[in-house]
Amino acid sequence: MSVKERHGIIVTGASSGIGRAVALLAAERGYAVLAVARRADRLAELASEIGERAPFATLACDVTSADAPARIAAAARSALGRIDILFHNAGAARAGHLLEQSDAALRDQWELHLAAPLRITRSLLPDLRATRGAIAMMGSGLAVMPVPGFGAYCAAKAAVRAACTQLRRELRADGIAVSYCDPGVVATEFSSVSGTAAPKGMRRADPRQVARRLLDGIEQRRPRIDANRLQPLLLGIARAFPRLADAAIARMVDRTSGVEPTVAPMTTPGADTAPRHEDGRPPEGDLVTTLAPLARRMERAKLGLPFIASLLQPGATIDLNEAAMRWAGMPNKNERALLGELFAALTEAGYLERIDPQRVRVLRGAEPLERNGDEK
């Protein structure tokens, strides 16, 4: 069967978890697949695993980048021949309380979960009209039953849920199906990457089982697809009895000590109201002044300025978890939170810029230190 005769599917966030499992399953079912993700090495491993079983292409791309829609559309038209399914799976959360997250953090969640998928869909709409294809967007039970500590993620997923309903009604005349997917709690990298923790003892589904249920539902053009069959009942009860849901969530948070960040979000309360230059750049100050509000905590944690200065190599990329491990070996919750706040302060001061919730790029190095600290 030629590529043109095969149904084509685009899967974003395909380097791990559900996205990877959907890409593998689609290849097994005979689809021509375009797998999109940021991590080129993971995509290469996936392509190697699929081998010659099906036409398979990869695209290393951040879906939130300005050129992502054009790049994905061009790659799909070249590799797939036809586009029948567009599965928006890319996503990540970041732990933190909603009102303590910066404007940038709020925008990041909106961009990743809603704005970027809409832009990509717009670029592929002629192709989906031609095949009377299907669009699927990844939702979450947290869209209906938000949990403290997940910040803007819950609100962004609620927006995804509403957008799916709206798109389904708007695109009905074009013969395009739109599915809202709720995977339930799945055994993926979500918690470790997002800096959140699911309640202890909660059963996590196998990504392969979830992928099968989701792809089945997309093929059947169902408007809502629940990988966890029990979850709709629980969410229905939560909607019908909001006070009961609030009490249940409060007990769960108390029992699990909340949803704690593995590395605190790179946000600081009030950071977005700090004075800035006319072009939007934050004011620049020296390292000692920038970190002065955290100095006492740094001293108690034995986090010295020389260690921080050693990280500030212009052009370098810093992964927060790797930096935490390098500093403290096996950092505890408080040490991770301190490092997260420190990176937030450095971002506001213009030393760093965010690449994504987990990584930063160094914009400028540290000035010569006039006093030494105990490096750890």
- C-alpha distances out from residue 376 to 27, 298, 302, Å: 48, 10, 6
d(Cα 132, Cα 130) in Å, to the nearest integer?
6
Selection from 231, 235, 266 nearest residue 100 by Cα? 266
Burial group, residue 118, by CB count within 10 angstroms (0-12, 13-18, 19+): middle
At 62, which amino acid appears? Answer: D
Are the beta carbons of 188 and 146 closer than 8 angstroms?
no
Neighbouring CB atoms inside 10 A of 269's CB total 13
Q: For residues 167 and 197, what is the distance between their CA atoms, to the nearest angstrom?
A: 32
Specify the length of the chain in residues.
376
Q: What is the DSSP string of 308-376?
A: HHHH--TT-EEEHHHHHHHHHSS--HHHHHHHHHHHHHHHHTTSEEESSSSEEEE-SPPPPPSS-----
Superfamily the domain 3-255 falls into: NAD(P)-binding Rossmann-like Domain (3.40.50.720)
Contact in structure between 110 and 96 (CB atoms under 8 Å)? no
DSSP conformation class of 66: T
201 Cβ neighbours under 8 A, 6+ residues apart: none
Indicate the SS3 state at residue 328: helix
Task: Render the burial of 84-104: b for 16+ CB within 10 Å, e for the rest.
Answer: bbbbbbbbbbbbbebeebbee
SS3 state of residue 362 = strand
In this structure, are residues 282 and 348 in contact, taking their beta carbons and an 8 Å threshold?
yes
Catalytic annotation, pick one of 31, 153, 180, 351:
153
Q: At what angle do helices 116-131 and 152-170 cross, to 10 degrees?
A: 20
pLDDT along the chain (376 residues), means of 10: 76 94 96 95 93 91 95 97 96 85 89 97 98 97 87 94 98 98 73 47 76 96 89 75 76 52 38 39 62 84 86 87 77 77 85 82 76 36
How far is Cα 119 from Cα 63, in angstroms, rounded to an integer?
9
Spatial distance between the Cα atoms of 6 and 79, rounded to a whole number of angstroms: 11
- Give the strand order in the sheet containing 32-37: 56-60, 32-37, 8-12, 85-88, 134-138, 177-182, 224-226
Instruction: Write down the pLDDT at residue 94.
Output: 77
Query: What pLDDT does residue 12 have?
Result: 97
**Tokens 């249940």 belong to residue:** 248
How far is residue 361's CA from residue 93's CA, in Å, rounded to a whole number? 20
Report the candidate in 80, 168, 183 with the shortest Cα–Cα distance to residue 124: 80
Give pTM, 2 decimals: 0.66
Residue 153: active-site member = yes
Distance of alpha carbon 293 from alpha carbon 313, whole angstroms: 23
Which amino acid, one-letter code, is at 89? N
Answer whether 93's CB lies under 8 Å from 190's CB: yes
**What pLDDT, on the 0 to 100 scale, is given for residue 202?**
55
What angle do the packed helices 333-348 and 320-328 form, to 10 degrees? 120
